[in-house]
Amino acid sequence: MTGLTSIRRVLVANRGEIAVRVIRACHDLGIEAVAVYSEADAQAMHVREADAAVAIGPAPAKASYLRVEAIIEAALEAGCQAVHPGYGFLAENADLPRACVAAGLTFIGPDADVMTAVGDKVEARQMAEEASVPTVPGSGRLATPAEATEFAEQVGYPVMLKAAAGGGGRGIRRVDDSATLEAAFVAASREAEAAFGDGGIFVEKCIVDPRHVEVQVLADTHGNVVHLGERECSLQRRRQKLVEESPAPGLPEEVRDQLWAAATRLAAHVGYTGAGTVEFLVDSATLDFYFIEVNARIQVEHGVSELVTGIDLIAEQIRVADGQPLSFGQEDITFRGCAIEFRVNAENPRQNFFPSPGQVELLKLPGGPGVRTDTGLDSGDTIQPFYDSMIAKALVLGRTREEALARARRALAEFEVTGVHTTLELQRSILDWKLFTRAEFHTGSLDDFIVEWVARGDH
Amino acid sequence: MSDDLSVQAPFPGVFYRKPDPESPEFVQVGDDVQADTVVGLIEVMKMFQEITAGVAGKIVSFEVENEGAVSAGQVLLVVR
């Protein structure tokens, strides 16, 4: 193992399963990990597993895990050289890398300016275009319905009308034909004016029933950029991913090659460093793909890429932050088999996924060949109401997708949680769902399946 | 004190007195509320749920501050 030169102690600025995951990577690298915790998490697994722990404030995340100055203070107080943000909380807030640099700490992630640039939708799209990465065809700011009609005729219906100053879904309208465009434009403009004080509208081609496919990239500070293949993440409930897998089933080699090349081209163009994800929408019918956004962090579903490549992404993030060149090139990365992840959440899928915090009486994780579980809980631990609902991620690896599916059935049958409601029963049912086993799904499929599943009731 | 009615948190989470940081509070001490008056939000695992008074009367006091952590059954405010 390559020793680290400057990092001997890492502050893990997160909680739950990802904090535990980062602590494990630190220990694998022979370095120490320091946890931070809110008042609600004093007994949490990430605190138990760390070499030291620092209290950072009251239970609400705003008063603890989201406070940049509390994180910096904790890192300095505990004698850390580096800070790992995990995902969520401050992971994509450029104030954290800036504050780290100002305090003489190494931030384990991309440069603050790169993070800011890729985090801005307009700027990210522009950089994608510069790097010849396809983006969803869109107009500039339009003043009249006539201009919108002209653009829509060019790219073809349906189109989306979006507020130029937009955000949060407000001012977004789908238009299926020219007959309804004018009225929709006027309404969208009025809504945008009311919501943002700016009635500016732009038009985007609507990708019907797309798949969500993302590419994992890894880049060092010496100009080397590699990818670790793609992940299929179309199985989402209201934009929350529930099942992810790698490779993306049914994508032809040449499409995968193009996706990989586009993602690494963009990462190189923006000067990305560390682990990042480039997200795309893939048109199910034509297999044309379009850039959506860059996620400048480690992602929840990173484990499926680790299983198929054998590379520890968190350890690589730390090595890159330490200034080391990647110890492998693209040709050294090989993909074996199929990995699938199931997110088991403390929610009641029969009550519209209402959160179910509380004490986990029993947590029996699956094991055996080809099974990995990442969790931040043990039997007897409490799932706090203040943070996300994740109980565990169950990952399986098989030589083929069929073998992975068989392992998943076995693993989810072994998996037991009592004391709180969970999504386990739904996840088991997904494994019997034909559209899933045949991989004939898009980003809207799971919402439809859940409606059917709830209507079917217990069985 | 026997006339006091309490409005309790139906589930644990973080209590908000405003719909968003820029807006005024849903209700103030001294306001009259009906059973269906929204008195705050509770955020549980990133989900925001409106909390209604459930009783009618005049608000006497808030027992939890804005953005304070609450447990299930905890008294949020007192109505008389």
pLDDT digits (tens, 9 = 90+) for A282-325: 999 899 999 999 999 999 999 999 999 999 999 999 999 999 99
Where residue A49 sits, what CATH number does that domain have? 3.40.50.20
Interface check B60 vs A, CB under 8 A:
no
Same structural domain, A231 and A172: no
Interface check B14 vs A, CB under 8 A:
yes
A240-246 vs A225-237, strand pairing mode: antiparallel
Q: A419 in a domain, yes or no?
A: yes
CA distances to A162, A164, A281, B71 from A137, rounded to whole Å, are 13, 15, 12, 48
For the record, the structure tokens of A189 come out as 């403009």
* Phi/psi of residue A429, nearest 5 degrees: -65, -35
Q: What is the pLDDT along chain B (80 residues), one digit of tens a residue?
A: 568 999 999 999 999 999 988 899 999 999 999 999 999 999 999 899 999 999 999 999 999 999 999 999 999 999 99
A212 closest CA partner among A164, A277, A154, A149: A277
Q: Which residues of A142-169 are buried (b: 16+ CB within 10 A; e: fewer)?
A: beebebbbebbeebebebbbbbbbbeee
For chains A and B, what is the number of CB pairs under 8 angstroms? 37
Q: What's residue A170's pLDDT?
A: 66
Mutate one of B14, B45, B48, B64 to test the A interface: name it (highest A CB count within 10 A): B45
Same structural domain, A86 and A162: no
Largest CA distance in chain A: 66
Same structural domain, A184 and A46: no
Same structural domain, A405 and A302: yes
Decide which of A205, A222, A250 is a domain's last residue. Answer: A205
CB contact at 8 A, A216 and A271: no
Same structural domain, A40 and A54: yes
CB contact under 8 A, A60 and B14: yes
A364 closest CA partner among A377, A353, A382: A377
Q: Which residues of A342-379 are buried (b: 16+ CB within 10 A; e: fewer)?
A: bbbbbbbbeeebbbbbbebeebebbeeebbbbbbbbee
pLDDT digits (tens, 9 = 90+) for A9-37: 999 999 999 999 999 999 999 999 999 99
CB contact at 8 A, A394 and A368: no
Interface check A389 vs B, CB under 8 A:
yes
Domain ranges of chain B: 5-79
Q: What's residue B46's pLDDT?
A: 87
Contact list in B for residue A58 (CB cut-off 8 A) is 69
A320 closest CA partner among A457, A229, A219: A219
Q: A159 in a domain, yes or no?
A: yes
A158 upstream amide cis, omega within 30 of 0: yes
A353: nearest CA partner in chain B:
B47
Extract the runs of DSSP E, i.e. beta strands, from A27-136: 32-38, 52-57, 82-84, 106-107
Mutate one of A300, A382, A384 to test the B interface: name it (highest B CB count within 10 A): A384
Q: What's residue A4's pLDDT?
A: 85
For the record, the structure tokens of A53 come out as 């722990």
Please name the member of B12, B46, B67 whose beta carbon is closest to the beta carbon of A62: B67
What's the half-sphere exposure (Cβ side, CA atoms, 13 Å) at A355? 24
Q: What is the pLDDT along chain A (459 residues), one digit of tens a residue?
A: 457 889 999 999 999 999 999 999 999 999 999 999 999 999 999 999 999 999 999 999 999 999 999 999 999 999 999 999 999 999 999 999 999 999 999 999 999 999 999 998 889 999 999 999 999 999 888 989 999 999 999 999 999 998 887 665 666 889 999 999 999 999 988 888 888 888 889 899 999 899 999 999 999 999 999 999 999 999 999 889 999 999 999 999 999 999 999 999 999 999 999 999 999 999 998 999 999 999 999 999 999 999 999 999 999 999 999 999 999 999 999 999 999 999 999 999 999 999 999 999 999 999 999 999 999 999 999 999 999 999 999 999 999 999 999 999 999 999 999 999 999 999 999 999 999 999 999 999 999 999 999 999 875
A40: nearest CA partner in chain B:
B69
> Residue A5 pairs with which residues in a beta bridge?
none
Q: What's residue B4's pLDDT?
A: 92
Min Cα distance A357 → chain B (Å) is 8
For the record, the structure tokens of A377 come out as 């809980």
Interface check B10 vs A, CB under 8 A:
no
Residues with Cβ within 8 Å of A459's Cβ and at least 6 positions away in sequence, in order, are none
Could you tell me the residue range of the domain that residue A258 belongs to? 210-456
Is A297 marked active-site? yes
Q: Which residues of A220-258 are buried (b: 16+ CB within 10 A; e: fewer)?
A: bbeebbbbbbbbbbbbbbeebbbbbbbbbbebeeebbeb
Mutate one of A39, A343, A354 to test the B interface: name it (highest B CB count within 10 A): A354
Interface check A387 vs B, CB under 8 A:
yes
Decide which of A83, A108, A133 is a domain's last residue. Answer: A108
The CA distance from B36 to A444, in Å, is 35
Q: What's residue A374's pLDDT?
A: 98
Where residue A249 sits, what CATH number does that domain have? 3.30.470.20
Q: How many Cβ atoms from other residues are within 10 Å of residue A120's Cβ?
A: 13
Interface check A57 vs B, CB under 8 A:
no
* Sole residue written with tokens 């102690």: A9
CA distances to A77, A122, A170, A183 from A195, rounded to whole Å, are 44, 19, 7, 18
For the record, the structure tokens of A19 come out as 């904090």
User: What's chain A's length in residues?
Assistant: 459
Q: What's residue A261's pLDDT?
A: 98
The SS3 assignment for A314 reads helix
Same structural domain, A266 and A345: yes
Same structural domain, A443 and A349: yes
Contact list in A for residue B44 (CB cut-off 8 A) is 355, 357, 385
Q: What's residue A330's pLDDT?
A: 98
Rg (CA), chain B: 12
Q: A136 in a domain, yes or no?
A: no
Q: Report the alpha-carbon angle A290-A294-A297, nearest 5.
A: 150
* Sole residue written with tokens 């739950």: A16
Min Cα distance A384 → chain B (Å) is 8
Q: A122 in a domain, yes or no?
A: no
Q: What's residue B1's pLDDT?
A: 52
Please name the member of B11, B45, B69 whose beta carbon is closest to the beta carbon of A60: B69
Q: A65 in a domain, yes or no?
A: yes
Same structural domain, A82 and A154: no
Where residue A169 sits, what CATH number does that domain have? 3.30.1490.20
The CA distance from A327 to A224, in Å, is 10
A156 closest CA partner among A206, A100, A115, A202: A206
CB contact at 8 A, A317 and A108: yes
Interface check B44 vs A, CB under 8 A:
yes
The fold for domain B5-79 equals OB fold (Dihydrolipoamide Acetyltransferase, E2P) (2.40.50)
* Interface predicted TM-score (ipTM): 0.87
